[in-house]
Amino acid sequence: MINNNQLIDFIANQAGLADITAQIKAVEYVRARAVAIKLLTERGLGRHETARLLKREPKTIRHALLSWPTMWADDISAVRLYHAGQAALAD
């Protein structure tokens, strides 16, 4: 099973991005971080630990989780990335 940092790197790789912890607000980075946040919290990480790993504030983690059903769940790229992350966690 992959660890949390490996999961973040995996998501970045799958999205074709160098580092999703960078302070970049382009939609591709925001999407990848939202997917990573969803997967990490589903693994049982709290907001503060997830925020530390992604170099964000806990309120950003909360916002990403609350916006998942209304924003990212309908985004085909986010859903594909999410399923790829789930498959990586299952291995």
Give residue 61's domain range: 4-90
pLDDT digit string (tens) for 9-56? 999 999 999 999 999 999 999 999 999 999 999 999 999 999 999 999
pLDDT band with cut points at 50, 70 and 90 for residue 1: confident
Burial of 36 (0-12, 13-18, 19+ CB in 10 A): buried
Burial of 85: CB neighbours in 10 Å, binned 0-12, 13-18, 19+: buried
Whole-structure pTM value: 0.95
Domain count for the chain, please give it: 1
Angstrom CA distances, 85 to 6, 42, 63, 74, 77, stand at 11, 11, 20, 17, 12
Q: Is residue 39 helix, strand or coil?
A: helix
**What CATH number did the domain enclosing 75 receive?**
1.10.1750.10
* Amino acid in position 36: A
